[in-house]
Structures are given as structure tokens and as C-alpha cells.
Amino acid sequence: MKSSIEDFGTGWYGLSFGLDENDIDQLIEFLNILKSDRSYHFHMYSTTSDTDSGGIADIQFSRKIASETSNMDIGA
């Protein structure tokens, strides 16, 4: 997997992830577990040893609590 950050210069950032077929299969598997198990969570995390350049260290996926307000959407 390859990740990148885009700085829009407005205080907002974009994240991009380039996935290979194995990454896609694993993400689908983990999302299916998350769908059936509300207590489950998983992470995407950096594998780089270059700590001086900055980047994305960790992203956690978990189920949203029903009473929480959504602030993102999914689209293609």
C-alpha cells in the first residue's frame, strides 16, 4: 500500500491510498468483520522507518456510535 497526504493550504488535507489486490482483499475482510462485530476495530499504519519526513502514522477504523454526528461521507 502507498499512502500520501495532500495539503490544500486551507487547514484541510486529503489522504490517498494506492492499494494492490492483497490490500483490497484484506480491507474487505476487515470491513466485513467490523460490520458484524461492533466492538472490532483495525488499523492501517506506516511501515516506513523514515521518521524525519513526517507522514501518516496510523488510521483506525471502528464503528460509529449511533448518537454521533457524521462528518464524512463515502463516494466514488
Let me know: does 45 contact 59? Beta carbons within 8 Å.
yes
Within the chain, how many helices (H) and strands (E) appear?
1, 4
Give the model's pLDDT for residue 48.
84
- How much is the pTM? 0.84
Q: What is the pLDDT of residues 27-62, one digit of tens each?
A: 999 999 999 999 999 999 999 877 667 888 899 999
DSSP, collapsed to helix, strand or coil, labels residue 61 as strand
Phi/psi for 20 (5° steps) reads -95, 180
Place of cell 496510523: 58
